[in-house]
A and B are shown apart, each in its own frame.
Chain A
Amino acid sequence: AQKVTQAQTEISVVEKEDVTLDCVYETRDTTYYLFWYKQPPSGELVFLIRRNSFDEQNEISGRYSWNFQKSTSSFNFTITASQVVDSAVYFCALSEDNTNAGKSTFGDGTTLTVKP
Chain B
Amino acid sequence: EPEVTQTPSHQVTQMGQEVILRCVPISNHLYFYWYRQILGQKVEFLVSFYNNEISEKSEIFDDQFSVERPDGSNFTLKIRSTKLEDSAMYFCASSEQAWGNTIYFGEGSWLTVV
Please report A residues at the B interface, Cβ cutoff 8 Å.
33, 35, 37, 42-47, 50, 91, 93, 97-109
Contacts and interface: CB of A to CB of B under 8 A. Distances in A.
24 contacts: A33-B99, A43-B89, A43-B108, A44-B105, A44-B106, A44-B108, A45-B43, A47-B105, A50-B100, A50-B102, A91-B42, A93-B43, A97-B56, A98-B99, A99-B56, A100-B48, A101-B99, A101-B100, A102-B48, A103-B45, A103-B58, A105-B45, A106-B42, A106-B45
Interface of B: 31, 33, 35, 41-45, 48, 50, 55-56, 58, 89, 91, 93, 95, 98-108
Given A45-B91, A47-B102, A100 B42 contact: no
Contacts of A101: 95, 98-101, 103
A46 B56 CA distance: 22
The prevalent SS among residues of B at the interface is: strand
Contact of B44 (A42, A45, A46, A106): A106
A109 B103 CA distance: 18
B69 to A, nearest CB: 15
Given A101-B99, A103-B56, A103-B58, A45 B105 contact: yes
A5 B101 CA distance: 24
The prevalent SS among residues of A at the interface is: loop
Contacts of B44: 106
